[in-house]
Structure 1
């Protein structure tokens, strides 16, 4: 992977939604004051795709609709790595497990050893691809981030137990969706929140996915509709 800090890196962000039909809340934490990217901001768990993520076994793949949406305007075959990265970042930054009980086939990548030690294999079946955003030029870090929504009912164990979280995020908490905008949020997070609010009462994957594409020429809001299903 390039060492150029200005290079655009693929990234995954995961939005965990709890009690969606009664009192919806989302899981967020605060980035450190010295962080190079979005210091002090409250964010969803997420980060760059690692080289090993593409080879991580998934107990179940992404829903077919989300798989097709992710393929649009993207390198072929990236979907698996993006899904695995979302699950890994959730584990690293919150200590929560998105997976199913089981034993890993073969060797476990170093970044996944602690996850595997819990006796679970990651599963992407519950992930829904809901948003994509490219960091604008001129920022110290640039990411092509895919945002995944998942219902907290798919989390293994206690959703309030953050004891296994690493120290990348502080003040981890379930924030009522109605109060989220009162926190210090990045602009793009506020935009994504509108999509989350629209999805609260609809558990199905979205028909199309917003893509906020910032490049040197312009900033565009596109819709990713994916490719049609092949005829049988």
Structure 2
């Protein structure tokens, strides 16, 4: 099958998890009632790749296996801007920094706030765990890659959302066993099942599920990639 990329934007979503060994929780917020995409739904922070994301410096890149899996059935080099977009969206929507302390001269416009925090982005703690293509007929379509990261990797206080934009409201840490009480998009429920199964494991998964939707229907694939040497 060939994916029609017309009007489909590459996007990154970040699942931040804390208290893995006791009562696992994930960071979520609610989209506005007037949002064009998934209004009122509780979602993870995320959004489309911007032009400037391919030019930002990464203190450390994604793990090699994650990069390889991202670029299966995708354009070469997309892993880098996806990782940057994940970090930017996390910052914009929650005020949380995934980065290393450093000065940053002349950041792209969308990164001014992040740079002002005194950090450069660091993608090394991100784990690529899911990919989903928005079905045809939706007002917006995304080829979304979902990244899991432990809250211990954050450079900021995980309970401080003071620097967040207003894109998501009711930002909160939700226990995995309480999430069913929230209004979630279908694909978020699917991803959460995968995340719950990996709550105690911070290593890259054996394979990455790909929920592929196009005019020929919906298909679940597995993105394996080649085992990488230690």
Q: Write the mapping of 1:1-232 to structure 2, written as runs, cut at 5 A.
A: 7-104=7-104, 106-227=105-226, 229=228
Deviations 1:15-53 (A, max 9, x none): 000111111100000000000000000000000000110
1:228, distance to aligned residue in structure 2 (A): 5.3
1:203, distance to aligned residue in structure 2 (A): 1.4
Count of equivalent residues:
224
Shift of the 202–52 alpha-carbon distance from structure 1 to 2, 3 Å rule, reads same
Deviations 1:62-99 (A, max 9, x none): 01111111110110000000000000000000000000
| Matches of 1:131 and 1:157, distance apart in 2 | 25
The answer to whether the 8 Å contact 1:71/1:226 transfers is: no
Corresponding residue SS for 1:37? coil
TM-score by length of 1: 0.94
Corresponding residue SS for 1:80? helix
The answer for unaligned runs of 5 or more in structure 1 is: 1-5
The answer for unaligned runs of 5 or more in structure 2 is: 1-5
- Give every structure 1 segment of 4 or more consecutive aligned residues whose post-TM-superposition deviation is greater than 6 Å: none
| Matches of 1:201 and 1:101, distance apart in 2 | 28
| Matches of 1:181 and 1:132, distance apart in 2 | 21
TM-score by length of 2: 0.95
